[in-house]
Amino acid sequence: MGFWTAWRFLTVFPAPGGRGLSESGMGRSIAYFPLVGLILGAILVGLDQLLGLFLPPLLVSALLVVSLILLTGALHLDGLMDTCDGFAVRSSAVERLKVMADSRVGGFGVVGACCLILLKVISLITIPVGLRAVALLLMPALSRWSAAYAITAFPSAKKEGLGQMFKARTSWLNIGMATVIAAALAATFLGYIGAALVVVVWLITFLLARILSLRLGGLTGDTYGAIIELSEVTNLILIIVIGKLGGTSWLDLYL
């Protein structure tokens, strides 16, 4: 139940039990966020291998970024744009939340989305070939773990909404399971460097969520999406750093 709730929430793919989200499975679904991310990453790796047979690397990287947006229904990117629009407001947290709730996208949201997509494409091009598959796998997995942590550890800015529904039903046991899964995935592909990667991602997620929470009086569904998007870029950049420091992965031997 928990896995399929996470699957419905984080992807556009259907799942057993209908299209709606199960309230009873929302809390447990947090534990499976990294696994759903890993599956999304596996799809990206497959597309990368296929498209790389007949398309140049820059175009392949752009198509992978677009593919991830489509696979998630642009839900997280929409959250990032709303969050950027909210941050442009210099008045109270109430006014910022009001702007974020508006279905219309403002100039700051468009600029934020464009900058983010540009960073993702350039990062994918820059990643060493030997770490490209690992980056495509861990980027969606660890970023969704970041959101799971933020949902559990920080207060909600609203008393209603989808984000609040997840917040009200999760527990530290669920985020503990998600953390074990995320750390195991990173260590499997990168060894002890993977464990260090998870720690750095956690630290950046904590700082980002803290800033958002102070600015808005808590977190919302939009900010969870923004955290996922920004964490994806963070993971890609950190893996570039790992490559510059000489880090490798056994996965390079097979892909």
Q: Which residues of the chain have pLDDT under 50?
A: none
Predicted TM-score (pTM) above 0.85 = yes
The 10s digit of each residue's pLDDT in 221-254 is 899 999 999 999 999 999 999 999 888 887 765 5
Cα(200)–Cα(141) distance, rounded to whole angstroms? Answer: 15
Q: Provide CB contacts within 8 A for 171, sequence distance 6+.
A: 27, 152
CA angle 101, 229, 150 (to 5 degrees): 75
Two tokens, residue 142:
């660890």
Q: How many CB atoms lie within 10 A of CB 241?
A: 11
Contact assessment for residue 185 and residue 141, using Cβ atoms and an 8 Å cutoff = yes
pLDDT at 97: 87
Chain mean pLDDT for the chain: 90
Q: What is the pLDDT of residue 89?
A: 81
Domain ranges of the chain: 31-253
At 202 the pLDDT is: 97
Q: How far apart are CA 192 and CA 228, in angstroms?
A: 24
